[in-house]
């Protein structure tokens, strides 16, 4: 089975770049892994949303959409949990 392409919304890329090297080094490998397994253990589907899911990485959340028919994972947001669901 082919891998999923991982794309970033411009805002998500800016959020990730603003975090600093230590956090990016912890978060980015998990984002890359979504290309192989878009629904890893511990991920959650966001209620009321057709395509949106989230993974937890410490106090940070990665919110993303899975498009199975296009084999694509679109990263929507990378933010602290206090700002993730507003």
Q: Check residue 83 and give its pLDDT.
A: 86
CATH number of the domain within which 46 lies: 3.30.2310.20
Q: 39: number of CA atoms within 13 Å, CB side?
A: 9
Specify if 85 maps to a domain. Answer: no
> Residue 33: which domain range?
5-80
The tally of domains found in the chain comes to: 1
Q: What is the pLDDT of residues 51-66, one digit of tens each?
A: 999 999 999 999 999 9
- b/e 49-79 (16+ beta carbons within 10 angstroms → b): eeebbbbebeebbbbbbbeeeeeebbbbbbb
State pTM to two decimals: 0.92
Q: What is the pLDDT of residues 13-41, one digit of tens each?
A: 999 999 999 999 999 999 999 999 999 99
Specify if 65 maps to a domain. Answer: yes
Specify if 11 maps to a domain. Answer: yes
| pLDDT for residue 9 is more than 60 | yes
Confidence of residue 84 (pLDDT cuts 50, 70, 90): confident
């Amino acid at each position: 089975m082919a891998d999923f392409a991982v794309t970033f919304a411009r805002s998500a890329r800016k959020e990730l770049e603003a975090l600093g090297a230590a956090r990016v080094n912890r978060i980015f490998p998990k984002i890359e892994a979504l290309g192989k397994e878009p629904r890893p253990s511990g991920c959650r589907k966001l209620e009321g949303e057709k395509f949106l899911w989230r993974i937890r990485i410490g106090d940070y959340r990665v919110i993303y959409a899975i498009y199975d028919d296009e084999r694509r994972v679109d990263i929507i947001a990378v933010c602290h949990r206090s700002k993730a669901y507003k």
